[in-house]
A and B are shown apart, each in its own frame.
Chain A
Amino acid sequence: MNRFLAVSLMLIISCSRQQTTQILEFWQFWTDPQAKPVIESIIDRFERENPGWQVNITDLTWSDGHQKIAVAFAAGQPPDLLELGSDWIAEFAAAHALSEIEIDTAKLLLTTPGIYDGKIYGRPWFIATRVFYFNKTLLDKAGVGLPRDWQELLIACRRIDSLGEDISGFGANSAEPHRLYKKFLPFFWSCGGEFGSDEQFSLDTPEMLKALEFYGELARCGRIELQRHLEDEFCEGKIGFLISGGWLLKRLKESPPGFEYQLSPVIPERAGAIGWSFAGGEYLVIPEKSTKRQAAQKLMAYLTQYEDTKNLCQAVGFGFPPYKISNPDSLSESMATLFNQLVNSRSTPAHSRWVYIENIIESMIEQVTLGQATPSEAIKSAQRKIEQTILN
């Protein structure tokens, strides 16, 4: 009899525990062995401090994460909290898939990608940018100094390119989806380019022509390759100039190359002007269909605490917390270059169909770098596609 009572009591306790534990679904992209433990430790702490809540982490990959997220939204089964790339927020916000959130933007950096149509949908979690990496040894061999404007950059790339068949002046990206435009837009922005508003979105501008002509010239005194191959070859000392992010710095620090390298802010069209770069980052959003929005908002605030984001950046080896930090002086010279560039970085327009626009831009650049069209022809053709498929 006693045994029966004990078993019944245990069953009741376990059932009541199950009833009080609520599950929070969280989808995220940090899968590498350095970052994942940091995320898990933050989640463990959150669960301990919030009894009754259990967070289920689902890992996504950048290669097919966008598709999985879109399918989950379409099926009406999104998670409660979700990590998105900065340039995806507008697309999902425009489809009414995200819920508006309330955050204090005063202390945060790069909040604009999280804003669509004047409303905040995404909270910045991790931000990063791209700068120029240059091979100082090759620059010295070519007898040129660090370029201050486009003209000097082109001369430096040409001289380096003539050093040998295996040496390239500039590392130009091939049309890898989601990558090439991030390397090209800094040139467009750095000569004063703007895309215009949603309704009057235009590629056919003098600044686009100038940037495309220049990028085409750079590609002709360099090599066109996938990003990972370009980075491999930069590390082998075969490329003079390359645009890349903090992950390359981490790699160069871990395996120091046999040459001298340095980081430089994006080189502007004219000396003394600002060289703008592309700001990328990870943002946290709460889907409109989540039934646990309050708890999701709490978890979102928890994950984005300054110390935790700092730990995440340290574990990953690059990137910055999305906060206006007060003492960047404590950063190393290279990290300071990246941080200072972050201040002069921009995001792509919060356009609901940016995913398609970037595809058209990448095709336009590729036409020029492969010599299939003149910059002017490529821009006209891209603008026609924009008008036919995006603006209509």
Chain B
Amino acid sequence: MNRINTAILVSPWLLTLGIFWVFPVVYSLGLAFTDYRIFGEATFVGLANFGRLLGDPAFLQAFSNTAFFVFGTIPLTTVIALILALLINDKIPGHKIFQAGYFIPSITSMVVIALIFSSLYARGGYLHLLGRLIGFDVPPNGYLFSTKTALSAIMIMDIWVAVGYYVLLFLAGIKGIPEEVFEAARLDGAGFWRRLYSITLPQLEPITLFVLVINTIRSFQIFVEIYVMTRGGPLGSTSTVVYFVFDEGLHKFNIGYASAAAYLLFMVILIFAIVQLKLVTHRGGSL
């Protein structure tokens, strides 16, 4: 009877999961091996979509942009978040305000943030004017209309948005380190840097790896910023793999081809996640 009750109680969630998650995932895997366009029948094409992707300059550009985004933002986000968490933990005056302030961008709609930054980056926008004032060689039509600066501008915004969430994670990790360990180290004459290298950073290893894993997955899936700010332009310089999937699938209706691109991205993320998980378990940690 208990089993029946349990089954009844979890069935709404299971049904939702099955219909809206498992079914589309499995169905799109099947579509990745077809030439399905939204009108007409699907024909099995084997691995042709995957082969075509590897020779498609638009996909390769999107993939390289995504890789640049991931490897450009993750180290900076992690380091900045860690530094800010350490500063807040030291209870500097007004640390509560800083803590809330850093977190606000993380809970603000990305569409709103992207629109605000679009104005700041535009010709005559505050950041454009600031760049000129400092003496940078700023693009005449704003940062988002130059193939050289558009992606970097979005990356800077993304770091600003993401940092707050990781600050909280690091802060929770730091608070979890027993105070006695620090006291013992102080008694032994360890200074700030010594305590940081010998106690704080090693103790934060599981949190750091967790931050890396979720930040990697999130960064590989960047889409909203691109859609709102540049639509992949100028000339594909900000196109990412998820934007490519969106464009092929929902704009050009090459559903089979877009599914194949989505699964390639899934494989890449999976490999990264496995490597990171192996690192954790190898060092005896757990997520």
A356 x B252 contact (CB < 8 A)? yes
A67 x B251 contact (CB < 8 A)? yes
Which A residues are CB-close (under 8 A) to B50?
none
Which B residues are CB-close (under 8 A) to A175?
231, 233-235
Determine whether B160 belongs to the interface, using a CB cutoff of 8 Å to chain A.
Answer: no
Determine whether B263 belongs to the interface, using a CB cutoff of 8 Å to chain A.
Answer: no
Partner of A174, one of B38, B233, B236: B233
Determine whether A225 belongs to the interface, using a CB cutoff of 8 Å to chain B.
Answer: yes
A225 x B123 contact (CB < 8 A)? yes
1/0 contact trace for B118-147 toward A, CB 8 Å? 000011100000000000000011100111
| Least distance between A63 CB and chain B CB atoms (Å) | 10
**How many angstroms between the C-alpha atoms of A176 and B233 in the bound complex?**
9
A73 x B39 contact (CB < 8 A)? yes
Give the contacts of A163-190 with B (CB-CB under 8 A): 166, 174-177
**How many angstroms between the C-alpha atoms of A175 and B231 in the bound complex?**
9
Partner of A225, one of B40, B145, B231: B145
Which A residues are CB-close (under 8 A) to B122?
225, 229
Nearest CB to that of A367 among chain B residues? B235
A-B contact count (CB 8 A): 54
| Least distance between B207 CB and chain A CB atoms (Å) | 39
Determine whether A23 belongs to the interface, using a CB cutoff of 8 Å to chain B.
Answer: no
A74 x B39 contact (CB < 8 A)? yes
How many chain B residues touch A (CB < 8 A): the figure is: 21
Which A residues are CB-close (under 8 A) to B123?
223, 225
Nearest CB to that of B233 among chain A residues? A175
How many chain A residues touch B (CB < 8 A): the figure is: 25
**How many angstroms between the C-alpha atoms of A366 and B253 in the bound complex?**
24
Partner of A74, one of B38, B234, B251: B38
A174 x B234 contact (CB < 8 A)? yes
**How many angstroms between the C-alpha atoms of A174 and B239 in the bound complex?**
16
Determine whether B279 belongs to the interface, using a CB cutoff of 8 Å to chain A.
Answer: no
Determine whether A1 belongs to the interface, using a CB cutoff of 8 Å to chain B.
Answer: no
Determine whether A224 belongs to the interface, using a CB cutoff of 8 Å to chain B.
Answer: yes
Which B residues are CB-close (under 8 A) to A366?
233-235
Given A177-B231, A223-B141, do A370 and B147 touch, yes or no (CB 8 Å)?
yes
**How many angstroms between the C-alpha atoms of A363 and B233 in the bound complex?**
9
A176 x B231 contact (CB < 8 A)? yes
Given A70-B38, A363-B235, A370-B235, do A174 and B252 touch, yes or no (CB 8 Å)?
no
Which A residues are CB-close (under 8 A) to B39?
70, 73-74, 95, 97
**How many angstroms between the C-alpha atoms of A66 and B38 in the bound complex?**
12
Which B residues are CB-close (under 8 A) to A41?
none
Determine whether A71 belongs to the interface, using a CB cutoff of 8 Å to chain B.
Answer: yes
Which A residues are CB-close (under 8 A) to B231?
175-177
Determine whether B274 belongs to the interface, using a CB cutoff of 8 Å to chain A.
Answer: no
Give the contacts of A135-183 with B (CB-CB under 8 A): 166, 174-177
**How many angstroms between the C-alpha atoms of A244 and B40 in the bound complex?**
38
**How many angstroms between the C-alpha atoms of A97 and B251 in the bound complex?**
18
Which A residues are CB-close (under 8 A) to B233?
174-175, 366
Give the contacts of B218-276 with A (CB-CB under 8 A): 231, 233-236, 250-253
A372 x B38 contact (CB < 8 A)? no
| Most chain B CB within a 10 A radius of its CB, from A97, A174, A359, A372 | A174
Known: A176-B231, A229-B122, A370-B235. 5 other contacts (CB 8 A): A66-B251, A67-B250, A73-B39, A359-B252, A370-B145
A residues whose Cβ falls under 8 Å from a Cβ of B = 66-67, 70-71, 73-74, 95, 97, 166, 174-177, 223-225, 229, 355-356, 359, 363, 366-367, 370, 372
